[in-house]
Structure 1
Amino acid sequence: MNNMKTKIGVVSMATLALSASVVGSAIAAISQSFPDTPISTIQMLSTLPGLGSLIVTLIAGQMAMHISKKNLVLLGVTLVTIGGLVPAFWNNSIIGLLACSVVLGAGVGFISTINPMLLSEYFEGEERSSMMGVNTGMTSLGAMILTGVGGVLGGQNWRHLYWVYAVGIIVFLLVLFCLPNDKVQKEVINSEGKKEKVSTIKVLKELKAPVFIIIFISFLLGIAYTAYMANLSIVVAQRGVGGTAMTGIISAVGTFGGIFAGFGLKYIRKVTKPNTLAFGFLSILVTLVLTYFFANPFVLMIASIFSAMGMVMVMATCPFLLSMVSLPVQIPVVMSVYAFINSLSSTLAPKLISWLHIPAGVPSFIFAGALSLIVAVLLIVTKFGAKVESGAFIPDQDEELVSNNNEVLE
């Protein structure tokens, strides 16, 4: 099952996971075509996909218990393609553009939620961890290529930017022909030998503390990383390093670092295992320290690489560990909650920092650095990663129940 075709089918969809960000580069040009529309409304073209994605993450897990995950991915890719391509030829209405943004975001929601489920289903052990790293690298690579090509296409006319979403047709075909058909598990066999329907509420009630701890860790990473990205341009300006262009270059270098870290995660884990999560937060800490103390563009680029490596280590390891502390029947719900919290963390991070009365710029860096250090120390002291990977947190179940459920899965 775990052949090259399956790998291509799984990671190809990851190239569209950040496709909603492509439109952001054309906001200024689009606003000129709609002079009577407030700029805040135009900016919603970048934010509404997040809303569509957030809504879908709430229901995708439950849908995966009734509909083939492959079909849900195909639906997601179709929505991304339609939501992205329609504005290429129907673009005279800002309401229409906004509606397409929601459709596109809904498609991304299906992809980002179902993708880790498939990785957990088709790969085991270190291969699963490695594939999650490759998947994260493909996500960054896809975003970089789509943004670059979209920028070129829309250089003369922003409407042409949307043609970049034609890549969705290729991804659809790759998923259709390379991804195996998965079986939907609608029932499990309880300890009494009776069949029971899979219930989302029942699954949520049966989840153990390690599941929520891992999801909370990903939430904290989202806050720390967003604090860095949202305040980078401010700190760069305060340090006198440069303006928007320099910030863009620093971020671009970091993207390359994330791509290489994703594809090389299996080698990174040889050094960091079983404390990969802790090392991820330490990498974010290194980023914040370097950016805080140095005003050298080269050092800031190195710092950006560390931030991307930290993001990859945490965001690739969290679903891997979640798959180890959840039963197969729980995976759809667990990954749905995980995807929802991930989307929520980046959305809430600026507001949360503001509610704590932490000013923008350097103070936000200090807050994110302290948060990263605390999380890393707690992970190392408690040996949380080692306990998860050793199987100490595998849900307690009757051996007969586990055996019966495995038979159902097969």
Structure 2
Amino acid sequence: MKKRKIKVAILSISSLLMISMTASAILADIQAYFVGVDPSLISMVLTIPALMGLVFAFASGPLSLRLPKKNLVIFGLVCGLIGGMVALLFGSTSIYVLLGCSLLLGVAQGMNATMSMALIAEYFVAEESGAMMGLQSAFVNGGSMVLLFTSGMLAGIQWQMSYLVYLVFIPAIVIVMKNLPMDHPKVHDEEKQTEKSAKLNVRVYFTAVIMFLFGAFLFVFQTNIALYVNFASRLH
């Protein structure tokens, strides 16, 4: 029963990892709303979460050695909720408000992307860990599809309404608080020794490079497709 609750908590986190991509559907609307703002600044609404996600993905590892992972996860989820709600209520006042909200969304994305994998490694082993990794990946992709679809439907009403999808952070916070046990970070000497002696092979570096290139091309597409469609529609 305890493992089942932990699974529910991890999968609820995983389903929200791509939520920042919902901004890709409204970039053209944001550009039309903020007349005269540089398009590159508009694109940063989508790219800042990825940049901050990278920073906090690295930072959350060392932090998890000093702070409970549950607290870090809740902190990330709360940052995502605040960022989404501020964008919903005050995003239309200034493009810089939206950029500030994107910073918070990046914190949530980076923190919980790392923590979801760390929690799987901590609570599941062997075949169970592999199965959980597969489920986690499915929930990341499935969650992103549902969130993008819902955000697009809401954006049809008004672009600010697309940020209503960030209310989904509320049940996620409740699930994590109820189901995820409070861990106590410990670093044993033998674990430190293992970390020092472990080395990454060539295939790991090759995979990392491929994923980096994939991410780069993906974000070029995501940040420009809405603006391009809007521009092309004006020509006709």
Structure-1 separation of matches of 2:85 and 2:70: 22
How far residue 214 of structure 1 moved from its aligned partner, in angstroms, is: 5.8
1:221-249 alpha-carbon deviations (Å, 9 max, x no partner): 3146458757999xxxxxxxxx98xxxxx
- In structure 1, the residue matched to 2:38 is 38
Q: TM-score, normalised by structure 1?
A: 0.51
1:237-290 alpha-carbon deviations (Å, 9 max, x no partner): xxxxxx98xxxxxxxxxxxxxxxxxxxxxxxxxxxxxxxxxxxxxxxxxxxxxx
Tell me the matched-pair count.
Answer: 223
**Shift in alpha-carbon separation, 1:227–1:161, aligned structure 2, 3 A:** closer
Do residues 219 (structure 1) and 208 (structure 2) align?
yes
How far residue 2 of structure 1 moved from its aligned partner, in angstroms, is: 5.4
Structure-1 separation of matches of 2:204 and 2:171: 32
Do residues 172 (structure 1) and 173 (structure 2) align?
yes
Do residues 118 (structure 1) and 108 (structure 2) align?
no
1:164-207 alpha-carbon deviations (Å, 9 max, x no partner): 1000001111111111221211x4246xxxxxxx98xx886x04
- In structure 2, the residue matched to 1:52 is 52
2:87–2:98 CA contact under 8 A, matched in 1: yes
1:23–1:45 CA contact under 8 A, matched in 2: yes
Higher relative contact order (CA 8 A, sep 6+): 2
1:343-364 alpha-carbon deviations (Å, 9 max, x no partner): xxxxxxxxxxxxxxxxxxxxxx
Between 216-225 and 44-53, report the one with greater CA deviation. 216-225
Structure-1 separation of matches of 2:163 and 2:50: 18
Structure-2 separation of matches of 1:100 and 1:22: 13
Give the AA of the match of 1:65: L
- In structure 1, the residue matched to 2:199 is 209
Give the 4+ runs in structure 1 shifted more than 2 A: 187-190, 212-215, 223-233
Between 173-182 and 218-227, report the one with greater CA deviation. 218-227
How far residue 208 of structure 1 moved from its aligned partner, in angstroms, is: 1.8
**Shift in alpha-carbon separation, 1:214–1:16, aligned structure 2, 3 A:** farther
**Shift in alpha-carbon separation, 1:232–1:27, aligned structure 2, 3 A:** closer
Structure-2 separation of matches of 1:42 and 1:25: 12
- In structure 2, the residue matched to 1:79 is 79
1:281-312 alpha-carbon deviations (Å, 9 max, x no partner): xxxxxxxxxxxxxxxxxxxxxxxxxxxxxxxx
- In structure 1, the residue matched to 2:184 is 183
Calculate percent identity across the aligned residue pairs: 28
Give the AA of the match of 2:25: S
Give the AA of the match of 1:67: L
**RMSD, matched Cα:** 2.6
2:23–2:45 CA contact under 8 A, matched in 1: yes
Tell me, which stretches of 5 or more residues in structure 2 are unaligned? 223-227, 230-236
- In structure 1, the residue matched to 2:61 is 61
Give the AA of the match of 1:154: A
Aligned ranges 1:11-410 → 2 under 5 Å = 11-91=11-91, 92-185=93-186, 187-189=187-189, 206-210=196-200, 213=202, 215-223=204-212, 225-226=214-215
1:5–1:179 CA contact under 8 A, matched in 2: yes
Give the AA of the match of 1:117: A
Give the AA of the match of 2:136: N
How far residue 156 of structure 1 moved from its aligned partner, in angstroms, is: 2.2
**Shift in alpha-carbon separation, 1:79–1:231, aligned structure 2, 3 A:** closer
Structure-1 separation of matches of 2:106 and 2:216: 23
Tell me, which stretches of 5 or more residues in structure 1 are unaligned? 191-197, 234-242, 245-410
Give the AA of the match of 2:142: L
Q: TM-score, normalised by structure 2?
A: 0.86
Larger Rg: 1
SS at match of 1:181: coil
Give the AA of the match of 2:116: N
**Shift in alpha-carbon separation, 1:79–1:213, aligned structure 2, 3 A:** farther
1:2–1:122 CA contact under 8 A, matched in 2: no
SS at match of 1:3: helix
Structure-1 separation of matches of 2:114 and 2:126: 21
Structure-2 separation of matches of 1:207 and 1:90: 50
1:2–1:123 CA contact under 8 A, matched in 2: no
